[in-house]
Amino acid sequence: MINLQTEYLGLKLKNPIIVSSSGLANTPEKVKKLADNGAGAVVLKSLFEEQINHESHQHVESSDYPEAADYIINYTKQNSVEQYLDLIEESKKLVDIPVIASVNCTTSDNWVDFALKLEEAGADAIEINVFFMPNDKDKKADKYEETYFRLAENLKKLVKIPVVFKLGAYFTNPMYVTKELHYRNVDGVVLFNRFYAPDIDVDKMKMTTAEVFSSPSDIRNTVRWIGLMSGVFPNLSLSASTGVHSGKDVVKMLLSGAQTVQICSTLYMNGVDYLKTMIADLENWMKEHNYTDVESFRGEMSYNKIEDPTIYERSQFMKYFSNHD
Ligand SMILES: Cc1cc2nc3c(=O)[nH]c(=O)nc-3n(C[C@H](O)[C@H](O)[C@H](O)COP(=O)(O)O)c2cc1C
């Protein structure tokens, strides 16, 4: 009998496959569909700090009564917030798997009190997706990083439910940032977020949006950093995100030491019922390799466990190039 049970952020999951934050989980019905197809947990679509501000200003600009501006800003903010809280409450009524709220933010102060409402609405954990384009030539990296650390402190002072940071892959030293978050009692990190990127259509001479979905080859960076971090932070929950497209990819990430994986693009491309295939493929792999539970092989291919761990550190292609004339 195969047992896929997994602990993540102190929560019990029936399997390690989490559906990551996206439009796949923006209504209670969709959350239920994900649960019915076997998701171990679901991260709800993010509430965007930026979106709340933007919505508020649009309403204000179209108002004929400037004196109503403050009221409208407050109302719009409240409304988005209320809708999101309803999404948590209703989803929780429909499913028996953990429902993780998600906030996409750029500051460490303005919105933080709102986290309490997420907790009150019944979220099992809060995932923080904090990002701002670090394009100020006069600002050193540590100044940007302070926002993450202050946010972690503020949140952990406020809420009792677990807090997990979904990080981008572009830190100079992801290990240091993760350590500092861990020191501030953050319960886990998701490695990595995938960002919107611009592209250029050279025929139409127009700016466009680059492909929004990941491809299986995008998993490589995730493998590297989960493999490196899982030995260094044994008490921190690690969730592998970006490029996890198949059951075999789930196995890879568990072998490199992740507690859970998060999937998004593969469900957009293959349909939500592809979750079942991924779970079956994970179980089949475990049967073939005589594993009955996830714990018995988690981290077996991580930096600390393999014979030549330098393979995780190697980044230049010198040897590879010299073999390819
Ligand atoms: C259409 C779409 C919408 C997304 N919306 C969000 C979001 O609201 N919040 C968030 O943190 N990530 C969002 N993401 C990022 C995904 O959660 C995930 O981190 C990213 O797609 C990488 O995982 P994947 O390779 O499995 O797609 C979105 C991704 C896609 C493709």
Structure tokens at 166: 């979904």
Question: pLDDT at residue 22 above 90?
Answer: yes
CATH fold of 6-322: TIM Barrel (3.20.20)
Using a 6 Å cutoff on CB, does residue 178 contact ligand 1? no
**What span, in angstroms and rounded, lies between the C-alpha atoms of 240 and 191?**
5
Structure tokens at 57: 């200003």
Of 33 and 325, the one with more pLDDT:
33
Quick one: which atom of ligand 1 is closest to the CA of 20? 17
H helix or E strand, kind and range, residue 6: strand 6-8
The pLDDT tens digits for 162-196 are: 999 999 998 999 999 999 999 999 999 999 999 88
Domain locations in the chain as residue ranges: 6-322
Q: For the chain, give the number of residues.
A: 325
Structure tokens at 37: 């197809």
Q: Averaged over 1-28, what is the pLDDT?
A: 97
**What span, in angstroms and rounded, lies between the C-alpha atoms of 187 and 183?**
10
Query: 239 C-alpha to center of ligand 1: Å?
Result: 14
Quick one: which atom of ligand 1 is closest to the CA of 190? 19
H helix or E strand, kind and range, residue 211: none
Query: 137 C-alpha to center of ligand 1: Å?
Result: 28
Question: pLDDT at residue 27 above 90?
Answer: yes
Query: 54 C-alpha to center of ligand 1: Å?
Result: 21
Which of 18, 20, 42 gets mutated to test ligand 1 (max ligand atoms within 8 A of its CB)?
Answer: 20
Query: 213 C-alpha to center of ligand 1: Å?
Result: 8
Which of 164, 194, 217, 245 gets mutated to test ligand 1 (max ligand atoms within 8 A of its CB)?
Answer: 194
**What span, in angstroms and rounded, lies between the C-alpha atoms of 120 and 158?**
12
**What span, in angstroms and rounded, lies between the C-alpha atoms of 70 and 64?**
13
DSSP notation for 13-58 = ESSSEEEPSSGGGSSHHHHHHHHHTT-SEEEPPPEEHHHHHHHHHH
Q: In 3D, which of 7, 27, 23 has the Cα closest to residue 15?
A: 7
The pLDDT tens digits for 285-297 are: 999 999 999 999 9
- In this prediction, residue 54 carries a pLDDT of 56
**What span, in angstroms and rounded, lies between the C-alpha atoms of 299 and 81?**
39
pTM, 2 dp: 0.92
Quick one: which atom of ligand 1 is closest to the CA of 266? 26
Quick one: which atom of ligand 1 is closest to the CA of 263? 26
Structure tokens at 203: 């025929």
**DSSP reduced 3-state for 192:** coil
Angstrom CA distances, 143 to 134, 165, 254, 319, stand at 10, 18, 34, 37
Using a 6 Å cutoff on CB, does residue 213 contact ligand 1? yes
